Amino acid sequence: MPHQNYQSCIDACNACAVACNHCAASCLQEQDAKMMARCIALDVDCAEICQLAAAAMSRASETSRIVCQACAEVCRLCGEECAKHQMEHCQQCARACMRCADECRKMAATA
């Protein structure tokens, strides 16, 4: 099965989507959620593209490389934003995003 070649990237994408969804929900509970608007928006975008990338790789889609290139960029943006905030959910999300960005860059380079 071709998708097994990308399992570490699929796992990183799934973990990142979970972290981003958790971060967005947690940011909405913060005292000043409006201050977290960019973080929340990037969390939502990142979770969506991570889910798309994981699905594309699972299907061995011919678009996997392109989707993963885009996913790496969105993950980088989201990770940089989350890293600016001290809340643990943001810090965890930043780590998941950076790991996913690395995995997606590797996948896109080898696909």
CATH number, domain with residue 77 = 1.20.1270.360
The whole domain housing 37 covers 2-110
Predicted pLDDT at 2: 62
Average pLDDT over residues 1-5: 67
For 8-55, the pLDDT digits (tens) are 999 999 999 999 999 999 999 999 999 999 999 999 999 999 999 999
The answer to whether 96 and 20 are in contact (CB under 8 A) is yes
pLDDT at 1 over 80: no
Q: How many domains does the chain have?
A: 1
